[in-house]
Structure 1
Amino acid sequence: MNKQCDSRGVAIAASQQGVTLMELMIVIAIVGILAAVGYPAYVDYTDRARRADGRALLMDAAARQERYFFDNNQYSSTLTALGYGAATVTSAEGAYTMGAPAAGPTGAVATSFQLTATPTFSDTDCGNLILDSRGTKSISASNDATIIDRCWGR
């Protein structure tokens, strides 16, 4: 007769084979705890990566605005004048969109601008990323400097 043995060579009784319901429940509880801790960290990580995409979009547009200002002595109020192919631009990874820059005119000459990148995902922590001609970085969700620094990756 063939009997099953454990790792020490001790025979296992027929009633001890398999996994008990209690053991299965413990494993499910451990997996649930790990998921409850790990998922928010994963979401935070992916949101930070997406924000980097939005920051890159704004920095590129700001550089184009400065180039345009150098050539025309004023800032542009359209993205097409900055060399973009459309009135609305999507970031490289598709996480943000940007519409026409808000050009702040003094008389008929735009001497400042404000660029806004709108997330295509739900970002309740930061909302829109905003960059202006003075280099001021802000967000639409809060005026708290700590949150702004976190959203801008500082």
Structure 2
Amino acid sequence: MKTNKGFSLIELMITVAIMGILAAVIYPSYTDFVAKGARADGLASLMRVANLQEQFYLDNRQYATDMNNLNLGADPYITDNGLYSVDSTGTTSFTVIATAKGIQATRDSACITIQINDIGERTPAECWE
């Protein structure tokens, strides 16, 4: 009677091939998921600055021209995770722009800059989904 004590080379090669195919399918999905997750921080910061602009307008009858007027410190404002810089311009209207920095700029090339203005126009639209 003969007993097997391991895997054959063919079994090992089939397993490696299956793992390679799975990795080729899963990795792009993973990087897209990570990019969208980091984009959420940029979108939240855009909405925060837009709300602060509206609050500033109620108090001063004009929009802030400097991020320091919104009590955010630096100009431009850097998000908590450091992947976006957010800047706002305007007096009678405003536009808030988030620009991807570092690794986020390479991971999420379709949404390097995201904007919202005083009438609620969000561009590019696919980045807000």
Same fold by TM (over 0.5)? Answer: yes
Aligned to 1:27: 15
Which TM-score applies when normalising by structure 1?
Answer: 0.75
Partners of 1:79 and 1:12 in 2: CA distance: 78
Aligned to 1:143: none
Which TM-score applies when normalising by structure 2?
Answer: 0.89
- Superimposed CA distance per residue, residues 96-138 of structure 1 (whole angstroms, 9 cap, x where no aligned partner): 1113x121xxxxxx21011110112122122211111111000
The number of aligned residues is: 125
Cα RMSD after superposing both structures: 1.4
In the alignment, structure 1 residue 117 sits paired with structure 2 residue 98: yes
Instruction: Report the residue type matching 1:12 in the other structure.
Output: K
Q: How far off is 1:17 after superposition? A: 3.0
Partners of 1:12 and 1:132 in 2: CA distance: 76
Instruction: Report the residue type matching 1:152 in the other structure.
Output: W
Provide runs of 4+ in structure 1 moved above 3 Å: none
Partners of 1:35 and 1:12 in 2: CA distance: 36
Q: How far off is 1:24 after superposition? A: 1.3
Q: Who wins on radius of gyration, i.e. which is larger? A: 1
Report SS of the residue matched to 1:115: strand
Gaps of 5+ in 1: 1-10, 104-109, 140-147
- Among residues 17, 25, 30, which one is paired with 2:5 in the alignment? 17
Aligned to 1:38: 26
Gaps of 5+ in 2: none
Instruction: Report the residue type matching 2:112 in the other structure.
Output: G
In the alignment, structure 1 residue 89 sits paired with structure 2 residue 77: yes
Partners of 1:43 and 1:62 in 2: CA distance: 29
More helix by share: 2
